[in-house]
Structure 1
Amino acid sequence: MAFYSAEEQTGDYLFKIVLIGDSAVGKSNLLARFARDEFYPNSKSTIGVEFQTQKIGINGKEIKAQIWDTAGQERFRAVTSAYYRGAVGALLVYDISRRQTFDSVGRWLNELHTHSDMNVVTILVGNKSDLKDAREVTTAEGKALAEAQGLFFMETSALDSSNVAGAFQTVVKEIYSILSRKVIQSQELKQKDPGWMGDGKTVVLQADANQGDGQGKRGWCCSS
């Protein structure tokens, strides 16, 4: 089960989102483009975990997305359960110009589900869409895999900014949508049973199999 906590002082929500995928698919540049509107053409993998906090406004609420980047650890298979702990969203990134990174998607999904909640809102991201002449994975293949796994899908380019903000916002908006439904349900429970107690800070969220458009296994399936 996933937990989404509201900050006591501001009443805003803080969502932890992880970036996963093979090395050199552009995860760090996606984060740099989204958080700082920067791009590093000669960036190199580094050891450690980095994160940036970005504010996103949704329905008058200020959502803080705390985005974690493995920053090269995946090269050494040192991505641990601590990295995934508390994550409520994930961007699973592959490089459209390198098929082997697409073939690794299943392994990364297994790792995500092993170390975190099965209901983490996940978007499959085909990065480097600007490399049209070098493409090895078609858009149709990406969409088909996302549908089969019950994921959102989007192709992005950290180089030219295409869909970068949209990918992160898609995940955050879906998390908030699920959270809002659960908050409403909690309020209804409290009205029906005045003795029901909640601490007002943490809500347990699960995907509703009856939600969504029927395109995937869960209620946050494919989006293009």
Structure 2
Amino acid sequence: MDNYKIAVLGECGVGKTLLLNNFTDNPSDDSDDYQKIENDFPMKIVSYKDEEIVLSFIETSYDKYPSMHETNINQTDSFVLIFSITSRKSFEQIPTLRNDILRVKTLLTNEKLTLVLCGNKSDLEHMREVTTKEGLQMADKFGCVFYEISAKNNTNIDEMFNALINEAFNNKVNKIQNQYEITYKNTKEDYKNNDRFIYTPTILQEKPVKKYLDDYEEEYEEDKIQIKNYENIENLENENENQSDEITEKRKLNKCLIT
């Protein structure tokens, strides 16, 4: 099963522990908001796209345990930034927490941060200090979704984490694509004078040249296919000249290099 590590970041007292206790079905207690040390990770198995995945959580209070703050950020790829709608101070701390993430994490070009912003304690409307509009505006600035939740009443908790999981999955796919494009460009340059290789143009679909190579000995090294009996490649191309126009176009570079 895939394992997604999620850091829940926010000031002390905003309801991080209660949120995770309720979501992971752990017994709730009335102890301090951050008594658990990060070696004790709450976990939950959920179903996503007909597959089970494991969610493991780290909760961090920067104001109480600053020495563990960067370590926890570095260990995770998905983040919940949480404030209390009854505390403007906790809301104003959110941009600092996001900047900490961007400073610690190294993002690839076009890589998006997996993030959700949530305002807790929606059950305390009469004590509200942060408007819904302000939360939406901050989320829009961050390029993420925003939820108002009640950890006490279990309001919007499942919806919020489902949105985060969906974002994490999509970003994971995009990250693979970005990494592949970088690797492909580098490999294309490395192998442009080596006509013993065919390079497939995508890793997210079945290798388009595989069906042409059934009669040949193949060695797979990630997305490279090394053809041992290269002397038959030209015959192979002639035999399949009426096959996919897309494949034909992609085989123009340097005999065997698919672009």
For Structure 1 versus Structure 2, the TM-score category normalised by the shorter chain is 0.7 to 0.9
Paired position in structure 2 for 1:106 = 95
- Distance across 1 between alignment mates of 2:15 and 2:125: 16
Residue 171 (1) aligns with residue 164 (2)? yes
Paired position in structure 1 for 2:56 = 66
Larger relative contact order, structure 1 or 2 (CA cutoff 8 Å, min sep 6): 1
Single out whichever of 162-171 and 45-54 deviates more from structure 2.
45-54
Paired position in structure 2 for 1:156 = 149
- Distance across 1 between alignment mates of 2:69 and 2:125: 34
Return the index of the structure with the highest Cα Rg.
2
Tell me, yes or no, if the aligned pair for 1:29 and 1:38 is still in contact at 8 Å: no
Paired position in structure 1 for 2:41 = 51
AA aligned opposite 1:125? C
Paired position in structure 2 for 1:115 = 104
Tell me, yes or no, if the aligned pair for 1:39 and 1:159 is still in contact at 8 Å: no
- The alignment's TM-score, normalised by the length of structure 2, stands at 0.64
Structure number with the higher strand fraction is 1
Deviation at 1:45, TM superposition (A): 3.0
- Distance across 2 between alignment mates of 1:191 and 1:182: 22
Deviation at 1:164, TM superposition (A): 1.1
Residue 30 (1) aligns with residue 23 (2)? no
- Distance across 1 between alignment mates of 2:65 and 2:23: 26
Instruction: Say how many residue pairs are matched.
Output: 186
Single out whichever of 178-187 and 25-34 deviates more from structure 2.
178-187
Deviation at 1:190, TM superposition (A): 4.2
After superposition, the Cα gap between the structure-2 partners of 1:77 and 1:179, relative to the gap in structure 1 and judged at 3 Å, is closer
Q: 1:24 aligns to what SS in structure 2?
A: coil
Deviation at 1:117, TM superposition (A): 4.2
RMSD between superposed Cα atoms in Å: 2.5
Tell me, yes or no, if the aligned pair for 1:86 and 1:116 is still in contact at 8 Å: no
Residue 197 (1) aligns with residue 222 (2)? yes
Tell me, yes or no, if the aligned pair for 1:87 and 1:120 is still in contact at 8 Å: no
AA aligned opposite 2:104? H
Identity %: 23
- The alignment's TM-score, normalised by the length of structure 1, stands at 0.73
Task: Report Cα offsets for 1:162-189 as digits up to 9, x if no partner.
Answer: 0112211211122123335667852338
Structure number with the higher helix fraction is 2
After superposition, the Cα gap between the structure-2 partners of 1:26 and 1:87, relative to the gap in structure 1 and judged at 3 Å, is same
Tell me, yes or no, if the aligned pair for 1:39 and 1:158 is still in contact at 8 Å: no
Paired position in structure 1 for 2:71 = 82
* Structure 1 unaligned regions, length at least 5: 1-11, 199-224
Single out whichever of 79-88 and 135-144 deviates more from structure 2.
79-88
- Pairing of 1:213-224 with structure 2 (within 5 A): none
- Distance across 2 between alignment mates of 1:74 and 1:99: 16
